[in-house]
Amino acid sequence: MAKTRILVTGAGGFIGHHLVKRFVNERFWVRGVDLKYPEFEPTIAHEFEILDLRRWDNCLVATRGIDEVYNLAADMGGIGYITAYLAEVTRNNTQINTHMLEASRLNGVKRFLFSSSACIYPQYKQNTVDVTPLREEDAYPADPESGYGWEKLFTEELCGYYWHDYKFETCMVRFHNVYGPLGTYEGGREKVPAAICRKVALAENNDEIEVWGDGNQTRSFMYIDDCVEGLIRITNSNCREPLNLGTDKLVTINELVDMVATIAGRKITRRHDLSKPQGVRGRNSDNTKLRTVIDWEPQIPLEVGLEKTYKWIEGELKKAGRVPIHLEVSSLS
């Protein structure tokens, strides 16, 4: 029996790289596509092509001979990035997603996974830190994050139209704050857990680090291994409706800082910068529908995932000579 041939777009990025490794280890044939190679370790994809998927012709090339598409390619980053470049992010991602959907259909792809986001949820439902967990049906009436959230919500609708018009099989996953090793941890595109891990790793005991906002804003965070497992289960579920993929453990950003400081063995003081973007006041995932559809939800505790993530980021900073020697010695004592 022929192997299923899988395409992972965004395979040079964080989630895409982990997904490629999982599929290859399970003996699927995998093509990775991105504008760049993975940053921190080589890809093990059977083929890896550098293609700009904003271009229609490149999407046709990327999807040739493919059975399943995991479309993770996106212009994205943390809250500071996606709120600073509204037109650019929206335009780039809309081009990628519309071209990839149509190219996949024309090339006979059997199933298409679209990576959406919790940013599609209405901001009026996220005004308090003790936010009610967001259910999939809460997406409407619509009021998503400007730019990034709107293009994700639009593409969810487009996926539904492709089933309506062409009976083209799509599935959609709404990510809630994915973190873990091998992810960007500086430069402006990093997410909150990685940014905090970097700041704490570079700090000495009793140092102060900057926290955007008042630190009382709340989120839930999902470790990368759970993300990959959920992606595969959702794709195999035949569910055509969007599904949340995240944990339902709500923590404040201040609590997140304290957890990382404990892992690092340091006492850290927080300096809050209210002028920086902090996003909605609270966001949490309701996993009721996820459990019903795939009989599973993310399992890895935040403390466990954060420890793995912190140690990896600290290790990268040590390799770059950015962690002072006396900090390396003290952390081992």
Cite the active site residues. 148
Residues 282 and 27: their CA atoms lie apart, in Å, by: 40
Cα separation of the two ends of the chain? 55
Radius of gyration of the chain (CA): 20
Determine the residue type at 118: A
Six-digit token string for 273: 């910068």
8 Å CB contact between 200 and 331: no
The pairs formed by 153-157 with CB atoms below 8 angstroms and a separation of 24 or more are 153/116, 153/120, 154/94, 155/93, 155/94, 155/97, 155/98, 155/101, 155/114, 155/116, 156/114, 156/116, 156/120, 156/242
16: number of Cβ within 10 Å: 25
